[in-house]
Amino acid sequence: MNLENKIVIVTGSGSGIGAATAKLFSAHEAITIVADINLDNAKKTVSEIVKQGGTATASKVDVTQYDEVEKLIRSTVQTHGKLDVMVNNAGIGGKQQLKTADHTHEDWHNVIAVNQTGVFYCMKTALQQMSKQGHGSIVNVASLAGLKASGNNLSYSASKFAVVGMTKSAALEYARKNIRINAVCPGFTHSALLNQLLASAPNMDEKLKRFIPMGRFGEADEIAEAICWLASENSKFITGQTITLDGGTSL
């Protein structure tokens, strides 16, 4: 993958899929801005990248705050002169797994704010810059829950279906401007969100794996590979697409 000297922002990259993605971009000699609401976690990711000989900086951002997103992208462009790739990975799950009638207002508003509105803010601001410079690639991290029904998970599912829709709509709008927008849709993948789900009921690990033909959960590094490929010139005729990485679950 040709990513050398690309200027890349990865949100939610203090841990999990985001951290794995930031590290992989850096391994391919991109210059990576590790953005996370938890600055200590972001700095930890940067430290690991630098130890491996990569180039990265940490930035604190709350994607639910438009002014913070604007500041992140503005400072990136002021420092590096451009923004080649925006990876919108920051996301959360609801605190409780409940049916729709019992779904809490708190979970609805918090999850939608991060997973849907946060992606909109990042796309909006990144696209303004990419339109000015005449190129760019955006990769949104959606979910298998954004492609098929996910019970007891309304706000998360709604937000990820929205991410898929926003990806396709924006890709249609900006294809002639040399800007590509795609999404990845991971299935059950080792992460803080999966750990939260596994802790929600006894034997949840075994129950979930029954639905995965490959019989295992995904790894963050495997999702990162797809993200970096979509962001690279290796996929330059691909836009508006979702790549499902789920070990066959959707089958």
Kindly give the residue spans of alpha helices, DSSP state H, lying in the chain: 16-27, 39-51, 66-80, 105-112, 118-133, 154-174, 192-198, 204-209, 220-231
Q: Are strands 31-36 and 7-11 parallel, antiparallel or unpaired?
A: parallel
What's the distance, Cα to Cα, between the start and end of the chain in Å? 29
How far apart CA 150 and CA 144 sit, in angstroms, is: 9
| 156 in catalytic set | yes
Which of helix, strand or coil describes residue 214?
coil
Residue that has been written with the tokens 């993605």 in this structure: 21
Q: Give the Å distances, CA to CA, from 225 to 22, 48, 135, 139.
A: 11, 18, 22, 12
b/e per residue 144-162 (b: at least 16 CB within 10 A): bbbbeebeebbbbbbbbbb
| DSSP 3-state percent helix, strand, coil across the chain (nearest 5) | 50, 15, 35
Candidates 58, 54, 62; CA nearest to 76 is: 58
- Asked if 26 and 228 count as a contact pair (C-beta separation under 8 A), the reply is no
Among residues 66, 121, 156, 174, the one annotated as catalytic is 156
The residues carrying an active-site annotation are: 156
